[in-house]
Amino acid sequence: MKIRSVDIYILDIPTVRPHQLSMHTITAQSIVVARITNEGGLEGWAEVATIGGASYGEGTPEAIKANIDQYITPHLLGRNPNDFSKIMFEVSKAVRGNHFAKAVVEEAMIDLAAKSKNIPAYELLGGKIHDSLPLAWTLASGDTGRDIEEAKELLQQKRHKIFKLKIGKGDPYKNVEHVLKIIAAVGDQARVTVDVNQAWDETIANYCIEALQDGGVSMVEQPLPTWNYEGMARLTERFKVPIMADESANSVHDVFQITKHRYGNCIALKPCKHGGLMETKKVAAIAEGSGFGLYGGTMIESSLGSAACAAVYATISEFEFGTEIFGPLLFKDRITVNDLQFENFEVIIPDGPGFGMEIDLDKVRHYARDYSYSLS
């Protein structure tokens, strides 16, 4: 059945604790939710998340909604959602950039198409390789003692044994000491990585990465600003510890250049920054063909968006650095009746129709800005 309506909502959901990055501290996360309804009333749902309005990137929640409403929705109405690849190819010709906006409408069409066939979304993406995936957790309180205590508790619960530390804010040298103390406390039981979120210049990076490498850190994510490709290449050549491209690794064209010139040696995948699940598959293939390791990243999506990430990550052969789709664990509440399951240090891939999530409409109403509910 053809697409009858496209509804876009912006929701603000509080988190269980502050989540500190170099450019912003999250206490409430803004997500953009898409609902695509066919003529029979069947709904496909999807979500993308942003960080700190415009502080992380250009795709603000308000811009995502406005551009979908004005420029993308006309390409969807009256179309068969089973043709999501063709539709998105046409959208790519008519709308430049806007990866987050493209991602959420593509994912909603995939959810709808899979539900109409009563199959999991991963069946439309090549089929599931993994039943579960290793799950990292970000220790982002900024307090060394509290982070060590949290890491030990999560290890005991068998919830995480990969820990990421956000170290782009504040004194970089003190941040390195913070990381080294945590490695000393839990490094024999867990892998510890760091994410700089573009905050260092090359001089600081040279000093800090050397100390981190000597201290046993297992990966350094986006240490330099996105524009400093040559600097990323120099760091990659100098150090043995893997240097991951994240904010710089967006479109398939970006990732091709990164892999070709070795502006890093591993890639953080995020469907929203690539422009959807199918584009994520392309990015992963480029990385795999270039010998780059992969990390299943997150933009701190809730259960709905994390389930969409899980669906595509389940179809990708190997994640050398694990995944971090822990968003549902950071939210105080959720907009789905069910939730993702986490067991034995891994996230379980949902097997229900579509992304396997049942929407709680009352929660959507509660958290949505200027909410209006209509199927017309």
The C-alpha atoms of residue 104 and residue 273 are separated, in whole angstroms, by 11
Per-residue confidence band for 373, with pLDDT thresholds at 50, 70 and 90: very low
What is the pLDDT averaged over residues 325-335?
A: 93
Region 119-130: mean pLDDT is 98
Residues 158 and 109 in one domain: no
Token reading at 255: 């990732």
pLDDT single digits (tens) 85-116: 999 999 999 999 999 999 999 999 999 999 99
The 10 Å Cβ neighbour count of residue 365 is 14
- pLDDT score for 23: 58
> 56-60, 252-256, 306-310, 348-352: which range is least confident on average?
56-60
Hey, how many other C-beta atoms are within 10 angstroms of the C-beta on 311? 27
In a domain, residue 318? The reply is yes
The residue from 166, 169, 270, 273 that is catalytic is 166
Length of the chain: 376
Q: Is the pLDDT of residue 59 over 80?
A: no
Comparing C-alpha atoms, which of 261, 307, 253 is closest to residue 282? 253
pLDDT over 60 (residue 22): no
Report the distance separating Cα 359 and Cα 26, nearest Å.
24
Find how far residue 359's CA is from the centre of its chain: 20
pLDDT at 49: 93
CA distances 127 to 55, 226, 270, Å, are 36, 33, 19
Q: Spell out a b/e string for 189-224, using b for 16 or more CB atoms within 10 Å of the CB, else e.
A: ebbbbbbbbbbbeeebbbebbeebeebebbbbbbbb
314 lies in a domain? yes
For residue 36, tell me if it sits in a domain: yes
Side-chain-side CA neighbours of residue 69 (13 Å): 12
In a domain, 100, yes or no: yes
Any domain includes 374: no
Q: How large is the average pLDDT for residues 45-62?
A: 80
Q: Does a structural domain hold residue 373?
A: no
Q: Write down the pLDDT at residue 28.
A: 75
Using the predicted structure, report yes or no on whether residue 15 has a pLDDT greater than 90: no
How far, in Å, CA of 21 to CA of 166, rounded?
Answer: 6
One domain for residues 71 and 153: no
pLDDT band at residue 145 under the 50/70/90 scheme: very high
Same domain, 132 and 113: no
Is the pLDDT assigned to residue 52 strictly greater than 80? no
Confidence of residue 355 (pLDDT cuts 50, 70, 90): very high
Banded model confidence at residue 142, pLDDT cuts 50, 70, 90: confident
* Domain containing residue 217: CATH number: 3.20.20.120
**Domain housing 54:** 3-118+357-367
Same domain, 38 and 166: no
Mark whether 151 and 259 lie in a shared domain: yes
Phi, psi of 360 (to 5 degrees): -100, 100
What CATH number is attached to the domain comprising 106?
Answer: 3.30.390.10
Picking from 70, 80, 75, the residue whose alpha carbon sits closest to that of residue 93 is: 75
Both 24 and 166 in a single domain? no
Same domain (yes/no): 104, 207: no
* Residue written as token pair 């496909």: 44
Rounded mean pLDDT, 288-316: 97
Average pLDDT over residues 120-140: 96
Q: What pLDDT score does 16 carry? A: 78
DSSP state of 40: T
d(CA 64, CA 71): 10
Question: Same domain, yes or no, for 301 and 363?
Answer: no
- Say whether both 82 and 194 belong to one domain: no
Please tell me the predicted confidence (pLDDT) of residue 374. 44
Q: Which residues, listed in sequence order, are joined to residue 195 by a DSSP beta bridge? A: 166, 221
Report the chain's mean pLDDT, rounded to a whole number. 94
- The proportion of the chain whose per-residue pLDDT surpasses 70, expressed as a percent, equals 94
To the question of pTM greater than 0.85 for the whole model, the response is yes
Q: What is the pLDDT of residue 68?
A: 97
Percent of the chain with pLDDT over 90: 89
- In total, how many domains does the chain have? 2
Does residue 293 fall inside a structural domain?
yes
> Which pLDDT band, with edges at 50, 70 and 90, does 18 fall under?
low
DSSP-derived secondary structure for 283-324: HHHHHHHTT-EEEE--S---HHHHHHHHHHHTTSS--TT-B-
How far the first Cα of the chain sits from its last, in Å, is 15
pLDDT in tens, 166-209: 999 899 999 999 999 999 999 999 999 999 999 999 999 999 99
Query: What residues does 12 pair with on adjacent strands?
Result: 30
Active-site residue, 166 included: yes
Residues 216 and 276 in one domain: yes
Helix or strand holding residue 375 (H, E): none
| Residues 64, 135 within the same domain | no
Residue range 206-213: mean pLDDT, rounded: 98
Rg (CA), the chain: 20
* Separation of alpha carbons 69 and 71, rounded Å: 6
Q: Note the pLDDT of residue 55.
A: 61
Give CA angle at 312 (308, 313), nearest 5°: 110
Q: Has residue 171 been placed in a domain?
A: yes
My answer on whether 110 and 148 are in the same domain is no
